Amino acid sequence: MITSLPEATPPPVPEQGMDVWFVGNRSALFWLALKSGFWTVLTLGFYRFWMKTRLRRWYWSSIRPGGHPLEYVGDPLEKLLGFFIAVVILTFYIGIVNLLLMFVSFSFFQSSFVGYFASFLGVIPVWFYAQYRARRYVLGRTRWRGVRFGLEKGAWGYAWRALVHWVITICTLGVLWPRMTFWLEKYKTDRTYFGSAKLVQGGRWQILIPAAMPFAAGVLALGGLLVWMIYLAPMMPGAEELLEDLMDTAGAALRLNYIPSGWVGVWRLYLFIPIFMLLIYGAVHYRFVSKRILTDHKHSEGVQMRSRLNGLRISMIYVLGTTIAYTILLFGVLAILGLAIGLLGPEAFFEEQMGMADPLGDLPRWMSLVIIAVLYLSVFLFWSVLHHAFVTYPLMRHMSVTLSLVNIAGLAQVSQRARDEFAEAEGFAEALDLGAAI
């Protein structure tokens, strides 16, 4: 059980602004994630609450505004108990509410589709609720210079606002996505505290429009290419009536490297490659450049933030890091496959895959299930280790070192705030699979 340290007087605030340092080492993070993941596999997933706590403490201690490290004081037992509480509540929802929805669906519509769809819609506000609660818990367990962060209550308010903004965004075909991003972030930021200092999100939603330009350009390029290929200069006669057949034939043409008879300008299919690359870059660019813009407009009384985050650098981290992680994971899966063939022999192995042999030999059924569960957890946990080392680590390092605090005179007037208590911690986020990220 973690005991709280005695309150100490914060170090004096410097007269000028302060930069943010990042002192963590990638190899140390890799071995920490690997060891924690090993224990998580051995405990069939129960150690993941301790794994997440240890990783957060490592990341937080590596981020040092003005040379003073952040502290994460969350308790893994809080996470475990909160997870059980959330599972009980969600089990009631799934077991009772879904049963009622299915009864109504069959009674009035003679179909289960309406019930399943209504059940899915019912989970969405809980999903947004869990997002807000998870952020509140993390902030409530974070300290800097001995002073706690905090987030006011308002999870259900965030949930219904998120639903409204999503409806507006979908109805406008994504044109007002920057508006949704700004107002949801403003709702959370305006309820965020560092000690007694309240954070404010300034600016207007229109400041995010430039960040969305690369993605918008990709969408327009994709639409223009489709109009060109289907209506203005069709590759195949009658393509506008046979769009599905066109896409199937185009895929076969690319795979087999041949040109079907009657097709014109097949080379245009290769234009999809740079367009999809532009869409990926645009999505990553918007996600993080919007954070930079919003950060530049965050302030408190006597405190101002500045971010020099580079969108191109972030995109390179995502692409290269994900490629490295997937490549290593692919080689690992192939190595396991080769080992299985070597141990069983090619004939026995392929008979096993076709269901003609007894899986895992003469092992008891319970042992077979345990081995399958351990291998299942190992695959996903190994991916988690690689993701930490090659994606999360460089992203947090870049976001940290490009952040600075200016006009920080207001920090001298900050006083301590009361500790927030949480009955379910991040339980809903964990139960809804929102708790995997740091």
Residue 328 has pLDDT above 60, yes or no: yes
Cα 4 from chain centroid (whole Å) = 30
Where does the pLDDT of residue 191 fall: very low under 50, low under 70, confident under 90, or very high at 90 and above?
A: very high
d(CA 70, CA 187): 24
66 and 82, same domain (yes or no): no
SS (HEC) of 17-80:
CEEEEECCCHHHHHHHHHHHHHHHHHCCCCCHHHHHHHHHHHHHHHEEECCCCEEECCCHHHHH
Tokens of 375: 């291998």
pTM, entire model: 0.79
For residue 306, being part of any structural domain is answered with no
106 and 89, same domain (yes or no): yes
Q: Write down the pLDDT at residue 1.
A: 42
88 and 160, same domain (yes or no): yes
Number of domains in the chain: 3
158 and 97, same domain (yes or no): yes
195 and 152, same domain (yes or no): yes
pLDDT tens, residue by residue, 132-157: 988 988 898 999 998 999 999 888 99
Distances (CA, A) of 389 to 7, 279, 285, 327, 431: 34, 25, 21, 14, 25
Residue 6 has pLDDT above 50, yes or no: no
Residue 387, C-beta contacts closer than 8 angstroms, at least 6 positions apart: 321, 325
For residue 417, being part of any structural domain is answered with no
286 and 317, same domain (yes or no): no
CB 211 within 8 Å of CB 238: no
18 and 124, same domain (yes or no): no
d(CA 142, CA 84): 23
What's the mean pLDDT when you consider all of the chain?
79
3-state secondary structure of 223: helix
For residue 87, being part of any structural domain is answered with yes
Q: Write down the pLDDT at residue 215.
A: 94
d(CA 35, CA 50): 11
Residue 291 has pLDDT above 90, yes or no: yes
237 and 286, same domain (yes or no): yes
Nearest one of 128, 149, 147 to 137, comparing CA atoms: 149
For residue 111, being part of any structural domain is answered with yes
Tokens of 69: 């490290």
180 and 222, same domain (yes or no): no
198 and 132, same domain (yes or no): yes
For residue 337, being part of any structural domain is answered with yes
How do 18-22 and 63-65 pair as beta strands? antiparallel
Radius of gyration of the chain (CA): 26
106 and 177, same domain (yes or no): yes
Nearest one of 131, 17, 79 to 405, comparing CA atoms: 17
Range(s) of the domain holding residue 283: 206-296
Place of tokens 């059924």: 365
233 and 337, same domain (yes or no): no
